[in-house]
Protein backbone atom coordinates (compact mmCIF):
# COMPACT_ATOMS: atom_id res chain seq x y z
CA UNK A 1 0.00 0.00 0.00
CA UNK A 2 2.76 2.37 -0.81
CA UNK A 3 0.67 4.01 -3.46
CA UNK A 4 0.11 7.72 -3.22
CA UNK A 5 -3.31 8.80 -2.11
CA UNK A 6 -5.42 10.49 -4.78
CA UNK A 7 -4.93 13.84 -3.09
CA UNK A 8 -1.15 13.42 -3.00
CA UNK A 9 -1.04 12.20 -6.58
CA UNK A 10 -3.12 15.18 -7.71
CA UNK A 11 -0.72 17.53 -5.93
CA UNK A 12 2.28 15.89 -7.55
CA UNK A 13 0.74 15.98 -11.02
CA UNK A 14 -0.39 19.60 -10.80
CA UNK A 15 2.13 21.61 -8.91
CA UNK A 16 1.21 25.05 -10.20
CA UNK A 17 -2.55 25.04 -10.36
CA UNK A 18 -4.65 27.27 -8.10
CA UNK A 19 -5.92 25.64 -4.94
CA UNK A 20 -9.55 25.58 -5.99
CA UNK A 21 -8.65 23.01 -8.65
CA UNK A 22 -7.89 20.44 -5.97
CA UNK A 23 -11.29 21.05 -4.41
CA UNK A 24 -12.97 20.83 -7.80
CA UNK A 25 -11.24 17.53 -8.38
CA UNK A 26 -12.06 16.17 -4.93
CA UNK A 27 -15.74 17.08 -5.12
CA UNK A 28 -16.15 15.73 -8.68
CA UNK A 29 -15.26 12.29 -7.32
CA UNK A 30 -18.62 12.31 -5.53
CA UNK A 31 -20.82 13.23 -8.50
CA UNK A 32 -22.98 10.14 -9.01
CA UNK A 33 -23.36 10.64 -12.76
CA UNK A 34 -19.63 10.67 -13.46
CA UNK A 35 -17.75 7.53 -14.27
CA UNK A 36 -14.37 8.89 -15.26
CA UNK A 37 -12.13 11.92 -15.34
CA UNK A 38 -12.92 12.76 -18.97
CA UNK A 39 -16.29 14.14 -17.90
CA UNK A 40 -15.31 16.17 -14.82
CA UNK A 41 -17.10 19.51 -15.19
CA UNK A 42 -15.08 22.70 -15.03
CA UNK A 43 -11.60 21.17 -15.29
CA UNK A 44 -9.52 22.15 -18.33
CA UNK A 45 -9.18 19.41 -20.96
CA UNK A 46 -5.44 19.03 -20.39
CA UNK A 47 -6.00 18.37 -16.70
CA UNK A 48 -8.71 15.84 -17.40
CA UNK A 49 -6.40 14.04 -19.81
CA UNK A 50 -3.50 14.00 -17.37
CA UNK A 51 -5.81 12.58 -14.71
CA UNK A 52 -7.11 9.92 -17.06
CA UNK A 53 -3.57 8.83 -17.88
CA UNK A 54 -2.31 8.76 -14.31
CA UNK A 55 -5.13 7.86 -12.00
CA UNK A 56 -7.86 5.31 -11.83
CA UNK A 57 -11.36 6.67 -11.29
CA UNK A 58 -12.04 3.96 -8.69
CA UNK A 59 -9.33 2.22 -6.66
CA UNK A 60 -11.32 -1.01 -6.77
CA UNK A 61 -13.53 -2.85 -9.21
CA UNK A 62 -16.55 -5.08 -8.76
CA UNK A 63 -15.82 -8.79 -8.92
CA UNK A 64 -19.35 -9.90 -8.07
CA UNK A 65 -22.56 -8.21 -7.02
CA UNK A 66 -25.44 -10.00 -5.34
CA UNK A 67 -28.95 -8.80 -4.71
CA UNK A 68 -31.08 -10.17 -1.88
CA UNK A 69 -34.47 -11.58 -2.81
CA UNK A 70 -36.38 -8.66 -1.38
CA UNK A 71 -34.23 -6.14 -3.21
CA UNK A 72 -33.46 -4.34 0.04
CA UNK A 73 -29.88 -5.66 0.35
CA UNK A 74 -27.09 -5.65 -2.19
CA UNK A 75 -23.60 -6.98 -1.61
CA UNK A 76 -20.52 -6.36 -3.72
CA UNK A 77 -17.23 -8.17 -3.71
CA UNK A 78 -14.70 -5.60 -4.82
CA UNK A 79 -11.23 -6.36 -6.11
CA UNK A 80 -8.40 -4.09 -4.99
CA UNK A 81 -5.38 -3.23 -7.12
CA UNK A 82 -3.28 -5.96 -5.49
CA UNK A 83 -5.96 -8.56 -6.25
CA UNK A 84 -7.28 -8.78 -2.68
CA UNK A 85 -10.99 -8.77 -2.27
CA UNK A 86 -13.26 -7.05 0.20
CA UNK A 87 -16.98 -6.79 0.68
CA UNK A 88 -19.36 -3.89 1.01
CA UNK A 89 -23.11 -3.90 1.52
CA UNK A 90 -25.98 -1.57 0.59
CA UNK A 91 -29.07 -1.93 2.79
CA UNK A 92 -32.37 -0.14 2.69
CA UNK A 93 -33.07 1.52 6.03
CA UNK A 94 -36.30 2.29 7.88
CA UNK A 95 -36.69 5.62 6.11
CA UNK A 96 -36.46 4.00 2.68
CA UNK A 97 -32.99 5.42 2.07
CA UNK A 98 -29.81 3.43 1.83
CA UNK A 99 -27.17 2.61 4.41
CA UNK A 100 -23.76 1.68 3.07
CA UNK A 101 -21.68 -0.72 5.14
CA UNK A 102 -17.96 -0.38 4.43
CA UNK A 103 -14.94 -2.53 5.19
CA UNK A 104 -11.87 -0.94 6.75
CA UNK A 105 -9.36 -3.79 6.37
CA UNK A 106 -8.77 -6.88 4.25
CA UNK A 107 -9.56 -9.51 6.85
CA UNK A 108 -9.28 -8.78 10.55
CA UNK A 109 -6.83 -9.61 13.31
CA UNK A 110 -9.35 -9.57 16.17
CA UNK A 111 -10.45 -13.19 15.65
CA UNK A 112 -13.87 -12.91 17.30
CA UNK A 113 -15.00 -16.52 17.43
CA UNK A 114 -18.50 -15.91 16.01
CA UNK A 115 -17.40 -13.72 13.10
CA UNK A 116 -16.63 -15.02 9.60
CA UNK A 117 -14.11 -12.25 8.89
CA UNK A 118 -12.34 -13.07 12.15
CA UNK A 119 -11.56 -16.51 10.78
CA UNK A 120 -9.75 -15.33 7.69
CA UNK A 121 -7.05 -13.49 9.61
CA UNK A 122 -5.58 -10.12 8.74
CA UNK A 123 -4.11 -9.24 5.35
CA UNK A 124 -3.77 -5.47 5.26
CA UNK A 125 -5.31 -2.12 6.05
CA UNK A 126 -7.39 -0.34 3.43
CA UNK A 127 -6.34 3.12 2.35
CA UNK A 128 -8.74 6.01 2.86
CA UNK A 129 -9.34 6.03 -0.91
CA UNK A 130 -10.30 2.36 -0.83
CA UNK A 131 -12.73 2.98 2.02
CA UNK A 132 -14.29 5.99 0.32
CA UNK A 133 -14.50 4.14 -2.99
CA UNK A 134 -16.82 1.54 -1.52
CA UNK A 135 -19.31 4.37 -1.00
CA UNK A 136 -18.50 5.78 -4.47
CA UNK A 137 -19.03 2.36 -6.01
CA UNK A 138 -22.58 2.33 -4.63
CA UNK A 139 -23.19 5.89 -5.87
CA UNK A 140 -22.51 4.70 -9.41
CA UNK A 141 -24.45 1.49 -8.87
CA UNK A 142 -27.57 3.40 -7.79
CA UNK A 143 -27.20 5.93 -10.57
CA UNK A 144 -27.28 3.08 -13.09
CA UNK A 145 -30.58 1.89 -11.52
CA UNK A 146 -32.86 4.93 -11.55
CA UNK A 147 -35.87 2.74 -10.74
CA UNK A 148 -34.72 2.22 -7.13
CA UNK A 149 -34.29 4.89 -4.42
CA UNK A 150 -31.10 6.88 -4.94
CA UNK A 151 -30.28 8.50 -1.63
CA UNK A 152 -27.58 7.11 0.63
CA UNK A 153 -28.30 8.59 4.06
CA UNK A 154 -26.06 6.57 6.38
CA UNK A 155 -22.67 4.93 6.43
CA UNK A 156 -21.64 2.27 8.92
CA UNK A 157 -18.11 0.96 9.43
CA UNK A 158 -19.33 -2.55 10.10
CA UNK A 159 -17.89 -4.50 7.20
CA UNK A 160 -14.66 -6.45 7.29
CA UNK A 161 -11.99 -5.29 9.65
CA UNK A 162 -11.49 -3.39 12.89
CA UNK A 163 -11.76 0.32 11.97
CA UNK A 164 -9.78 1.60 14.96
CA UNK A 165 -6.88 -0.72 14.08
CA UNK A 166 -6.64 1.36 10.90
CA UNK A 167 -7.10 4.66 12.71
CA UNK A 168 -5.41 7.20 10.43
CA UNK A 169 -6.92 5.98 7.15
CA UNK A 170 -10.37 5.60 8.69
CA UNK A 171 -10.14 9.14 10.09
CA UNK A 172 -9.16 10.53 6.66
CA UNK A 173 -12.01 8.61 5.04
CA UNK A 174 -14.48 9.96 7.62
CA UNK A 175 -13.36 13.55 7.16
CA UNK A 176 -13.49 13.25 3.37
CA UNK A 177 -16.99 11.76 3.46
CA UNK A 178 -18.13 14.51 5.82
CA UNK A 179 -16.68 17.17 3.54
CA UNK A 180 -17.89 15.94 0.18
CA UNK A 181 -21.21 14.22 0.90
CA UNK A 182 -24.35 15.52 2.61
CA UNK A 183 -24.09 12.81 5.22
CA UNK A 184 -23.61 14.34 8.67
CA UNK A 185 -21.65 12.91 11.58
CA UNK A 186 -24.71 11.53 13.35
CA UNK A 187 -25.45 9.43 10.27
CA UNK A 188 -22.07 7.73 10.31
CA UNK A 189 -21.29 4.97 12.81
CA UNK A 190 -17.92 3.44 13.49
CA UNK A 191 -18.21 0.04 15.13
CA UNK A 192 -15.24 -1.17 17.17
CA UNK A 193 -14.29 -4.29 19.04
CA UNK A 194 -13.23 -1.85 21.77
CA UNK A 195 -9.58 -1.04 21.09
CA UNK A 196 -9.09 1.03 24.22
CA UNK A 197 -5.83 2.81 23.30
CA UNK A 198 -7.50 4.03 20.13
CA UNK A 199 -10.74 4.93 21.91
CA UNK A 200 -8.60 7.00 24.30
CA UNK A 201 -6.76 8.59 21.41
CA UNK A 202 -9.87 9.77 19.60
CA UNK A 203 -11.09 11.60 22.71
CA UNK A 204 -8.13 13.96 22.48
CA UNK A 205 -7.83 14.07 18.73
CA UNK A 206 -9.08 17.35 17.25
CA UNK A 207 -9.17 15.72 13.84
CA UNK A 208 -11.39 12.84 14.91
CA UNK A 209 -14.90 13.86 13.74
CA UNK A 210 -17.96 13.59 16.01
CA UNK A 211 -19.34 10.47 14.35
CA UNK A 212 -21.30 7.90 16.30
CA UNK A 213 -19.51 5.06 17.98
CA UNK A 214 -20.70 1.54 18.60
CA UNK A 215 -18.70 -0.77 20.83
CA UNK A 216 -19.07 -4.50 20.34
CA UNK A 217 -19.66 -5.61 23.90
CA UNK A 218 -21.32 -9.00 23.43
CA UNK A 219 -21.02 -9.81 27.10
CA UNK A 220 -20.86 -7.85 30.34
CA UNK A 221 -19.31 -10.87 32.00
CA UNK A 222 -15.53 -10.69 31.73
CA UNK A 223 -14.90 -14.42 31.37
CA UNK A 224 -17.58 -14.89 28.74
CA UNK A 225 -16.33 -11.92 26.76
CA UNK A 226 -12.79 -13.26 26.88
CA UNK A 227 -13.94 -16.67 25.72
CA UNK A 228 -15.74 -15.39 22.64
CA UNK A 229 -13.51 -12.40 21.85
CA UNK A 230 -9.80 -13.16 22.14
CA UNK A 231 -8.95 -9.46 21.98
CA UNK A 232 -10.61 -9.03 25.38
CA UNK A 233 -8.79 -9.30 28.72
CA UNK A 234 -9.51 -9.37 32.44
CA UNK A 235 -9.71 -5.67 33.12
CA UNK A 236 -11.46 -4.79 29.86
CA UNK A 237 -14.92 -4.04 31.20
CA UNK A 238 -13.65 -1.81 34.01
CA UNK A 239 -11.42 0.06 31.59
CA UNK A 240 -14.24 0.47 29.10
CA UNK A 241 -16.40 1.86 31.89
CA UNK A 242 -13.70 4.39 32.76
CA UNK A 243 -13.46 5.36 29.12
CA UNK A 244 -17.21 5.92 28.81
CA UNK A 245 -16.96 8.30 31.76
CA UNK A 246 -14.40 10.38 29.88
CA UNK A 247 -16.43 10.12 26.69
CA UNK A 248 -19.58 11.49 28.31
CA UNK A 249 -17.66 14.24 30.05
CA UNK A 250 -16.25 15.33 26.74
CA UNK A 251 -19.39 14.92 24.67
CA UNK A 252 -22.24 15.81 27.02
CA UNK A 253 -24.65 16.56 24.23
CA UNK A 254 -23.71 13.50 22.27
CA UNK A 255 -24.10 11.04 25.09
CA UNK A 256 -26.99 9.29 23.37
CA UNK A 257 -24.77 8.33 20.55
CA UNK A 258 -22.92 5.61 22.35
CA UNK A 259 -24.13 2.15 21.51
CA UNK A 260 -23.11 -1.28 22.79
CA UNK A 261 -23.66 -4.06 20.29
CA UNK A 262 -24.63 -7.43 21.65
CA UNK A 263 -24.85 -10.46 19.38
CA UNK A 264 -27.25 -13.01 20.86
CA UNK A 265 -25.60 -16.43 21.06
CA UNK A 266 -27.71 -19.27 22.37
CA UNK A 267 -26.61 -20.55 25.80
CA UNK A 268 -23.46 -18.42 25.61
CA UNK A 269 -24.53 -14.89 26.53
CA UNK A 270 -28.33 -14.90 26.45
CA UNK A 271 -29.29 -16.22 29.90
CA UNK A 272 -31.00 -14.31 32.71
CA UNK A 273 -27.65 -14.13 34.48
CA UNK A 274 -26.10 -12.46 31.44
CA UNK A 275 -29.02 -10.06 31.14
CA UNK A 276 -28.53 -9.09 34.79
CA UNK A 277 -24.81 -8.54 34.28
CA UNK A 278 -25.58 -6.37 31.26
CA UNK A 279 -28.17 -4.36 33.19
CA UNK A 280 -25.68 -3.72 35.99
CA UNK A 281 -23.00 -2.69 33.54
CA UNK A 282 -25.33 -0.48 31.51
CA UNK A 283 -26.48 1.26 34.69
CA UNK A 284 -22.92 1.98 35.69
CA UNK A 285 -22.20 3.37 32.23
CA UNK A 286 -25.31 5.58 32.19
CA UNK A 287 -26.88 6.68 28.97
CA UNK A 288 -25.98 3.91 26.58
CA UNK A 289 -28.12 2.14 24.02
CA UNK A 290 -27.91 -1.63 23.76
CA UNK A 291 -28.36 -2.96 20.24
CA UNK A 292 -29.24 -6.66 20.29
CA UNK A 293 -28.07 -8.38 17.13
CA UNK A 294 -29.53 -11.68 15.98
CA UNK A 295 -26.62 -14.03 15.36
CA UNK A 296 -25.98 -14.75 11.70
CA UNK A 297 -24.77 -18.24 11.05
CA UNK A 298 -21.10 -18.43 10.15
CA UNK A 299 -20.74 -22.17 10.23
CA UNK A 300 -19.32 -23.08 13.61
CA UNK A 301 -20.32 -23.95 17.12
CA UNK A 302 -22.76 -21.15 17.81
CA UNK A 303 -26.52 -21.08 17.40
CA UNK A 304 -28.78 -18.08 17.40
CA UNK A 305 -30.77 -17.42 20.55
CA UNK A 306 -34.09 -19.22 20.72
CA UNK A 307 -36.92 -16.73 20.14
CA UNK A 308 -38.13 -17.15 23.73
CA UNK A 309 -34.66 -16.53 25.16
CA UNK A 310 -34.13 -13.50 22.94
CA UNK A 311 -37.49 -11.99 23.96
CA UNK A 312 -36.90 -12.68 27.64
CA UNK A 313 -33.44 -11.07 27.49
CA UNK A 314 -34.78 -8.00 25.70
CA UNK A 315 -37.76 -7.69 28.06
CA UNK A 316 -35.51 -7.89 31.14
CA UNK A 317 -33.38 -5.05 29.85
CA UNK A 318 -36.41 -2.97 28.99
CA UNK A 319 -38.02 -3.56 32.39
CA UNK A 320 -34.82 -2.43 34.03
CA UNK A 321 -35.05 0.85 32.11
CA UNK A 322 -32.14 0.10 29.82
CA UNK A 323 -32.51 1.55 26.35
CA UNK A 324 -32.56 -1.40 23.98
CA UNK A 325 -33.12 -1.92 20.27
CA UNK A 326 -33.12 -5.03 18.14
CA UNK A 327 -31.29 -5.07 14.84
CA UNK A 328 -33.14 -6.37 11.81
CA UNK A 329 -31.29 -9.07 9.97
CA UNK A 330 -30.86 -8.20 6.33
CA UNK A 331 -29.14 -9.92 3.49
CA UNK A 332 -28.68 -13.29 5.15
CA UNK A 333 -29.76 -14.92 1.87
CA UNK A 334 -26.66 -13.47 0.20
CA UNK A 335 -24.31 -13.83 3.18
CA UNK A 336 -24.22 -10.06 3.55
CA UNK A 337 -25.33 -9.93 7.15
CA UNK A 338 -23.08 -8.88 10.05
CA UNK A 339 -20.21 -11.23 10.60
CA UNK A 340 -20.81 -13.13 7.39
CA UNK A 341 -18.44 -11.09 5.30
CA UNK A 342 -15.64 -13.29 4.15
CA UNK A 343 -13.89 -13.73 0.85
CA UNK A 344 -11.27 -16.31 0.22
CA UNK A 345 -7.80 -15.06 0.87
CA UNK A 346 -6.40 -16.22 -2.45
CA UNK A 347 -6.64 -13.36 -4.88
CA UNK A 348 -8.45 -13.87 -8.14
N1 LIG B 1 -14.60 -4.83 14.02
C2 LIG B 1 -15.80 -4.07 14.27
C3 LIG B 1 -16.83 -4.24 13.16
C4 LIG B 1 -17.38 -5.64 13.11
S5 LIG B 1 -18.87 -6.01 12.23
C6 LIG B 1 -16.39 -4.47 15.59
O7 LIG B 1 -15.90 -5.42 16.19
O8 LIG B 1 -17.33 -3.82 16.04
C9 LIG B 1 -20.17 -5.23 13.08
C10 LIG B 1 -20.86 -6.03 14.19
O11 LIG B 1 -21.25 -7.34 13.78
C12 LIG B 1 -19.96 -6.22 15.40
O13 LIG B 1 -20.65 -5.92 16.55
C14 LIG B 1 -19.64 -7.70 15.31
O15 LIG B 1 -19.27 -8.23 16.56
C16 LIG B 1 -20.97 -8.25 14.82
N17 LIG B 1 -20.89 -9.63 14.34
C18 LIG B 1 -19.79 -10.33 14.00
N19 LIG B 1 -20.12 -11.58 13.62
C20 LIG B 1 -21.46 -11.66 13.73
C21 LIG B 1 -22.40 -12.70 13.45
N22 LIG B 1 -22.00 -13.87 13.00
N23 LIG B 1 -23.70 -12.44 13.66
C24 LIG B 1 -24.11 -11.22 14.08
N25 LIG B 1 -23.28 -10.20 14.33
C26 LIG B 1 -21.96 -10.43 14.17
Beta bridge partners of 265: 304
What SS3 class is residue 221?
coil
Contact 79, 60 (CB under 8 A): yes
| 164 CB within 6 A, ligand 1 | no
What would the pLDDT profile of 158-187 be if each residue is shown by its tens digit?
999 999 999 999 999 999 999 999 999 999
How confident is the model over 319-332, as a mean pLDDT?
Answer: 88
Q: Is 162 in the pocket of ligand 1 (CB under 6 A)?
A: yes
pLDDT for residue 330: 73
Tell which residue, 160, 262, 287, has the closest CA to residue 170: 160
| Statement: residue 254 has pLDDT above 70 | no
- Mean pLDDT to the nearest integer, 240-257: 84
Q: How far is the CA of 124 from the centre of ligand 1 (A)?
A: 19
Radius of gyration of the chain (CA): 21
pLDDT of residue 287: 86
| pLDDT surpasses 80 at 256 | no
Q: What is the pLDDT of residues 13-66, one digit of tens each?
A: 999 999 999 999 999 999 999 999 999 999 999 999 999 999 999 999 999 999
* Prediction pTM value: 0.95
| Mean per-residue pLDDT of the chain | 93
Instruction: Please indicate whether residue 115 is annotated as part of the active site.
Output: no
Q: Which of 49, 300, 338, 344 is catalytic?
A: 338
- The residue whose CA has the least distance to atom 7 of ligand 1 is 193
Atom 26 of ligand 1, residue of closest alpha carbon: 339
pLDDT at position 257, please? 76
CA–CA separation, 134 vs 89, rounded Å?
9
Annotation says 87 is catalytic: yes
Q: Is the CB of 331 within 6 Å of ligand 1?
A: no
Distance CA 58, CA 134 (A): 9
Average pLDDT over residues 226-241: 97
Domains of the chain: residue spans and CATH: 1-57 (1.10.150), 58-334 (3.20.20.70)
Residue range 257-269, pLDDT digits in tens: 799 999 999 999 9
Determine whether 94 is exposed, middle or buried from the number of CB atoms within 10 Å of its CB (0-12, 13-18, 19+). exposed
| Structure confidence at residue 306 (pLDDT) | 96
- From 87, 130, 162, 314, active-site residue: 87
Which ligand 1 atom sits nearest the alpha carbon of residue 157? 3
128 in contact with ligand 1, CB cutoff 6 A? no
* CA 189 from centre of chain: 7
Terminal Cα distance for the chain, rounded: 18
Quote the pLDDT of residue 1.
Answer: 44
205-232: pLDDT as tens digits: 999 999 999 999 999 999 999 999 999 9
Amino acid sequence: MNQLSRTALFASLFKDVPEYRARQFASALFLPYLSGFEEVPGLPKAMRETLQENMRWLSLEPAQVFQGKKGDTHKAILRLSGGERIETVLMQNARGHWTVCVSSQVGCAMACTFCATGKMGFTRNLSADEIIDQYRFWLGYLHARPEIPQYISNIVFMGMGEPLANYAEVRTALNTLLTYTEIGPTRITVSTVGLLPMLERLLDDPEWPPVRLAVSLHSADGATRRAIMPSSYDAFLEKLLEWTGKYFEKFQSRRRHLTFEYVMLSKVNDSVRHAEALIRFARRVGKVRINLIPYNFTGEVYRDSLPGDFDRFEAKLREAGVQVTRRRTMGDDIAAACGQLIVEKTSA
